[in-house]
């Protein structure tokens, strides 16, 4: 099985080259954000105020990492359920985000926004947070430290493994996978 290597942040060309079902290794800088951080970012967008991070081309990982133990860069860093960010995702894509990483299905509104704004939804393996953390070489809080684990972190990753679930062309690995086994 072929694995695609991509460098974050992403260009439109990189996003458009990805298809539902592709296995991908991400290297570069990605950011974390969960519900509380998304709410704060959307409030700033609605007020027309500057954001604490530049979303252009960025990948947002839906994770609230556990505290790092001594000698670790980060604690366990497994994905959270993406549906909790569905209300915010179209606006994030409109403001430049190119990809998000989580687990589980997305709403039709999110899938439509991925096509409209040339974005991609990636899944990381749930339950593998300790293994995923080994692909993170650096972690620093860059915004909303008062949110604790839900603060926005800047992560430097190398060969971070994900699978394309929803692509910018309307592909959906969950739908296509079910059809392949339907009788």
Would you name the residues annotated as active-site residues? 38
Rg (Cα) of the chain, in Å, rounded?
A: 16
Those residues with Cβ within 8 angstroms of residue 118's Cβ, 6 or more apart along the chain or in another chain: 12, 15, 16, 98, 168
HSE value, Cβ hemisphere, 13 Å, CA-based, for 54: 6
């Amino acid at each position: 099985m072929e694995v695609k290597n991509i460098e974050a942040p992403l260009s439109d060309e990189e996003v458009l080259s990805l298809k539902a079902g592709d296995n991908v290794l991400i290297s570069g800088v990605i950011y974390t954000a969960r519900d509380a951080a998304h709410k704060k970012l959307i409030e700033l967008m609605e007020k027309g105020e500057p954001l604490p991070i530049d979303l252009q081309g960025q990948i947002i990982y839906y994770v609230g990492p556990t505290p790092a133990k001594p000698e670790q860069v980060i604690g366990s860093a497994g994905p959270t359920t993406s549906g909790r960010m569905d209300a915010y995702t179209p606006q994030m894509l409109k403001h430049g985000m190119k990809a998000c990483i989580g687990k589980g299905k997305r709403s039709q509104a999110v899938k439509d926004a991925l096509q409209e704004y040339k974005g991609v939804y990636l899944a990381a393996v749930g339950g593998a947070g300790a293994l995923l953390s080994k692909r993170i070489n650096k972690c620093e809080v860059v915004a909303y430290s008062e949110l604790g684990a839900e603060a926005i972190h800047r992560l430097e990753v190398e060969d971070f493994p994900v699978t394309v679930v929803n692509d910018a062309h309307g592909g959906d690995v969950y739908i296509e996978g079910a059809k392949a086994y339907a009788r």
